[in-house]
Amino acid sequence: MRRLASAWAVSFLLAACSSAPQRPDPTPLAQPAPNVVRVTVAWQQAVGPVRMPIRLQAAGGMVAVASDDGAVGLLDAATGQWRWRASLDTPLSAGVGSDGRYVAVLTRDNEVVALREGEVLWRQRLTARSLTAPLVAGERVFVYAQDRSVHAFDAASGARLWMQQRPGEPLTLAQQGVLLPVGDTLLVGQGPRLAGLDPLRGSVRWEVPVATPRGTNEVERLADLVGPAARSGQTVCVRAFQAAVGCVDTRRAGLLWSKASNGSVGLAMDAEQVYGVDGTDRITAYRARDGEVAWTLEALRFRGLTAPLAAGDSLVVGDGQGYVHFLSRRDGRLVGRTATDGSGIAAVPLQVGDRLVVLTRAGSLIALRPE
């Protein structure tokens, strides 16, 4: 029955989305391009086409990456040289998680697959499909499935350690969820709530509601937390789908603030501000202490922006036409832009040392060097 409910929920949500109004044309880019931030290409590698939800992962100076057709690899962030590459010969639904040794991905057959040095260590079948990159930490692989179940496996052997699932709520969001560690707690999104789990046992330590679902039907009331979450110290900020942006003090398990915001991609933050992209691709900076708006930028509206990245003095976003934009974190002013292959940026840009790594929909993995 749970599988039937999940299938109905996904079909209902997709049908609702297909009837949405057509998105306006992307806002034309201002010319000439600003050049306060100058960008050079350090290296480039071909990965393979990427349409699935994906999050680039860095650990130990290595970048883990995967493509739709099951290609998986680990490469050196400084040189762009492959440490290893492997082909799983099966389409993927999400990727990729890594701690620098183990790499984990998810297949469309609802399997989690773990590799080390290019060799498959194990496969385990899940109760539902997952669109959230696995988390590899503490010799464990954690998976958040689309039915809101959370699974823990031993990274070396694949042994099932525990499974936690919130009952009810059959309608779920077909998008990346929230899954990250803070100290000795595993944070996951459970509908509009941020939950802290014991990573050893899977028991719930606390829950904090970030948004209050509202609407006349189940789709309008859908307010699942979407990834990536943003973190600064013990503060974690998240977006509730089409409902709100909010920040949680994980030390005392309390909501710091929540502001109404209709959006569907995750956040970035630093010690002073939280940055979000709403449903029209308007970029907003909120004050981290109280959620008041510091600045907004509308120059990139309807350009299909990724979630942002706070890197150096800049806020970095990719768009649906393959451009990478650099904004001043102080006032939101556009300070730089660089083009890639025109296919669209597939993942949130990733900072590794002095490199900024971006992945395009066509499968180009590019390391940029901002100056």
Length of the chain: 371
Two structure tokens written together for 267: 């956040």
| HSE-up (13 A, CA, CB side) for residue 245 | 30
Distance CA 105, CA 123 (A): 10
* CB-based burial, 314-346: b 16+ in 10 Å, e otherwise: bbbbbbbebbbbbbbbeebebbbbbebeebbbb
pLDDT in tens, 141-185: 999 998 889 999 999 999 999 999 877 665 677 789 999 999 999
pLDDT in tens, 286-306: 999 999 999 999 999 999 999
- Can you state the percent helix, strand and coil of the chain, rounding each to 5? 5, 50, 50
Distance CA 155, CA 186 (A): 16
- So where are the chain's domains? 53-165
Q: Among residues of the chain, what percentage have pLDDT more than 90?
A: 82
CB atoms within 10 A of CB 1: 6
pLDDT in tens, 320-330: 999 999 999 99
DSSP 176: -
Pinpoint the alpha helices (H) of the chain: 2-18
The pTM of this model reads 0.91
Q: Which CATH class is domain 53-165?
A: mainly beta
Residue recorded with tokens 């390391």? 367
Please give the residue that has the higher pLDDT: either 330 or 18.
330
**pLDDT at residue 346 greater than cutoff 70:** yes
